[in-house]
C-alpha cells in the first residue's frame, strides 16, 4: 500500500500541536479503562493507553490479579472503585468492549471515549455485538476504531470519530513526557487533537482533516492503478464527506469499472451513492431519479413512489433528507431535518435516532399524541425500557419489558440481553472464564 499524501492544507504540524495541547488542554486527570477479557495482553489499543498515561493517571478495571505485562503507569482497580472514581470531576471512561454498555452507561460519566475492538470468535455473528456498539456510540463523546469501514460508517452518522490506522508507519512528530520524547504516528496526533477538543467542548475539526488525508491517499493510489471499483468508490466517499465537487464523477467512474468487472449488484452498491451526492448538492429531482433507477425490490419501488408523491407535493427537504438517510448519511439528513422543522421533521428525526442507537434523544422527541394505538404504546414501552436499562434502573426496565411481552413475546429478548450483558461483564472482569 502507498503512503498517504499530505497536501499543504491538511498537513499535521506535530511539534506545534503537541506543545499547544500541553499548554491549553483541559484534559482530565483520570482515565478509567474498561477492557476486553483476557488481561492486558488483549487490550486492543496499547499505544492509545500509553498516550493517555502520558496525559494523566490511567486505571484498568479488572478483578484479576495484577499481571507482569500491565504497564507500571497503569493502576488496577475494581468495578466499584471505577464507579466511585467516575463520580469525580475530570475523569473519563474509556471503553474497549461494547458489552460494558449498561455498566458504563448507568454511571453516566462526564466524558466517554469508546475504543471499538474487532470482534473475535462468536462476537462477529452475535446480534448483541452490533446492538451494543450502536447504543455505546450513541452516548460516546469520541469513538475510535481500527476499521476504515467502521470509521466511514461513523463519519456518515455524524459521530466524532478517529480512525486508528494508516499505511505510513513513520512518526509524524514527537510528544514530550518528562525527559523523554514519544514518537507519534499521524493517527495518534489526530487522537490528541480530538481529545483536546472533547475536553474543551470545541467543534470537531479532526474528522475533516483525517478525511482529507484519506482522500489524498486514495487519489494518489488511483493515479497509479487507474479507475477501480473499490479505490474510486472510497475516494468518492471521502470527496462526498469533504463536499468536493469531483465526487459525482468519481463514483460514476467506480460504477463503470464495477460493470466491466461483472458486478451484478453495482446499481445498488455503487450507482445509488450518486443519489446521495446529488441530494446533498440540492439536486433533489436528479437524486430521486437515480434512486428510482436502483430500486430493485418491491419495498424499494414502493418507497420510490412515495418519495415521488412527496416531491410532487413540494416536500423537497423531506425527500432530500430521506434520500440521504437511505444512503446511510444520517448526519447530513439530521441537519436537513433541523432546518425543515415541524412535526414531520420531528417524526423522521425520531426514526434516525432509533436506527442509530441514540435512545435518550429519540425518547425526548416522543409526544403524548404519538402514543395513540397499541403498536405505538408497545414501541414506547420498549424504548423507555431500553432507556431505563441504560440508566441503571433495572427494575423499571424489566417491568416495562414484561408489560410489552404480554402483547409481543419478542420483548422478552430485551430481558435476556440484560442477563447476557451481566454474564459478559463477569467475563470482562475476569470473574469467570
What's the pLDDT at 21?
A: 43
Cα–Cα distance for residue pair 60/76, rounded to 1 Å:
5
Banded pLDDT at 182 (limits 50, 70, 90): confident
Answer whether residue 28 shows pLDDT above 80.
no
Contact 142, 113 (CB under 8 A): yes
Name residue 32's beta-bridge partners: 59, 93
The torsion angles phi and psi of 371, rounded to 5 degrees, stand at -100, 75
Name residue 279's beta-bridge partners: none
What's the pLDDT at 8?
A: 34
Q: How many CA atoms lie within 13 A of 152 on its CB side?
A: 17
Answer whether residue 415 shows pLDDT above 70.
yes
Average pLDDT over residues 180-189: 87
Chain segment 222-234, per-residue pLDDT in tens: 999 999 999 999 9
From 198, 175, 159, select the one nearest 25 (Cα to Cα): 198
How many angstroms separate the Cα of 123 from the Cα of each of 40, 183, 211, 396?
19, 34, 29, 28
CA angle 399, 402, 405 (to 5 degrees): 155
Chain segment 353-407, per-residue pLDDT in tens: 999 999 999 999 999 889 988 889 999 999 999 999 999 999 999 999 999 998 8
Banded pLDDT at 3 (limits 50, 70, 90): very low
What's the pLDDT at 407?
A: 87
Cα–Cα distance for residue pair 47/162, rounded to 1 Å:
14
Q: Which three cell numbers stand for residue 232?
A: 474510486
pTM given for the model: 0.91
Contact 247, 240 (CB under 8 A): yes
- Return the higher-pLDDT residue of 7 and 272: 272
Average pLDDT over residues 103-132: 95
Average pLDDT score over the chain: 91
User: Which of these ranges, 42-51, 100-109, 168-177, 250-259, has the smallest mean pLDDT?
Assistant: 168-177
What's the pLDDT at 169?
A: 82
Average pLDDT over residues 188-205: 95
What's the pLDDT at 234?
A: 98
Average pLDDT over residues 69-97: 95
Name residue 112's beta-bridge partners: 93
Chain segment 284-300, per-residue pLDDT in tens: 999 999 999 999 999 99
Name residue 113's beta-bridge partners: 94, 142
Q: Which three cell numbers stand for residue 94?
A: 474509556
Give the percent of the chain with pLDDT over 90.
82
What's the pLDDT at 178?
A: 67
Answer whether residue 6 shows pLDDT above 80.
no
N-terminal to C-terminal alpha carbon distance within the chain = 39
CA angle 243, 4, 221 (to 5 degrees): 80
What's the pLDDT at 179?
A: 66
What's the pLDDT at 29?
A: 82
Banded pLDDT at 104 (limits 50, 70, 90): very high
Alpha helical stretches, state H, 270-358:
273-280, 284-294, 298-312, 316-326, 330-340, 342-355
Amino acid at each position: 500500500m502507498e503512503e498517504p499524501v499530505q497536501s499543504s492544507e491538511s498537513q499535521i504540524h506535530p511539534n506545534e500541536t503537541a506543545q499547544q495541547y500541553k499548554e491549553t488542554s483541559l484534559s482530565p486527570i483520570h482515565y478509567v479503562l474498561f477492557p476486553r477479557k483476557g488481561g492486558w495482553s488483549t487490550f486492543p489499543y496499547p499505544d492509545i493507553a500509553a498516550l493517555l498515561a502520558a496525559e494523566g493517571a490511567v486505571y484498568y478495571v479488572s478483578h484479576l490479579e495484577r499481571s507482569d505485562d500491565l504497564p507500571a503507569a497503569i493502576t488496577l482497580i475494581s468495578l466499584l472503585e471505577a464507579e466511585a472514581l467516575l463520580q469525580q470531576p475530570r475523569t473519563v471512561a474509556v471503553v474497549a468492549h461494547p458489552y460494558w454498555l449498561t455498566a458504563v452507561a448507568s454511571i453516566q460519566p462526564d466524558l466517554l471515549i469508546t475504543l471499538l475492538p474487532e470482534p473475535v470468535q462468536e462476537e462477529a455473528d452475535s446480534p448483541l455485538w452490533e446492538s451494543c456498539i450502536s447504543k455505546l456510540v450513541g452516548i460516546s463523546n469520541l469513538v475510535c476504531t481500527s476499521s476504515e469501514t467502521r470509521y466511514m460508517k461513523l463519519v456518515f452518522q455524524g459521530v466524532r470519530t478517529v480512525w486508528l490506522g494508516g499505511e505510513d508507519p513513520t512518526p509524524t512528530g514527537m510528544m514530550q513526557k518528562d525527559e523523554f520524547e514519544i514518537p507519534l504516528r499521524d493517527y495518534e496526533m489526530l487522537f490528541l487533537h480530538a481529545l483536546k477538543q472533547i475536553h474543551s467542548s470545541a467543534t470537531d475539526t479532526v474528522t475533516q482533516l483525517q478525511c482529507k488525508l484519506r482522500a489524498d491517499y486514495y487519489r494518489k493510489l488511483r493515479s497509479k492503478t487507474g479507475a477501480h471499483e473499490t479505490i474510486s468508490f472510497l475516494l468518492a466517499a471521502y470527496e462526498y464527506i469533504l463536499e468536493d465537487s469531483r465526487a459525482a464523477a468519481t463514483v460514476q467512474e467506480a460504477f463503470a469499472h464495477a460493470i466491466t468487472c461483472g458486478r451484478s449488484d453495482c446499481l445498488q452498491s455503487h450507482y445509488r451513492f450518486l443519489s446521495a451526492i446529488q441530494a446533498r448538492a440540492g439536486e433533489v429531482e436528479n437524486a430521486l431519479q437515480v434512486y428510482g433507477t436502483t430500486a430493485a425490490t418491491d419495498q424499494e419501488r414502493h418507497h420510490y413512489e412515495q418519495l415521488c408523491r412527496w416531491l410532487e407535493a413540494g416536500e423537497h427537504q423531506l425527500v432530500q433528507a430521506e434520500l440521504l438517510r437511505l444512503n446511510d448519511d444520517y448526519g447530513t439528513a439530521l441537519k436537513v431535518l433541523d432546518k425543515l422543522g415541524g412535526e414531520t421533521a420531528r417524526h423522521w428525526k425520531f426514526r434516525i435516532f432509533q436506527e442509530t442507537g441514540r435512545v435518550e434523544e429519540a425518547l425526548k422527541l416522543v409526544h403524548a399524541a404519538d402514543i395513540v394505538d397499541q403498536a405505538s404504546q408497545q414501541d414506547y414501552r420498549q424504548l423507555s425500557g431500553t432507556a431505563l436499562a441504560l440508566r441503571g434502573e433495572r427494575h423499571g426496565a424489566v417491568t416495562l419489558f414484561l408489560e410489552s411481552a404480554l402483547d409481543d413475546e419478542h420483548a422478552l429478548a430485551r430481558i435476556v440481553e440484560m442477563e447476557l450483558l451481566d454474564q459478559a461483564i463477569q467475563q470482562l472482569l475476569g470473574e469467570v472464564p
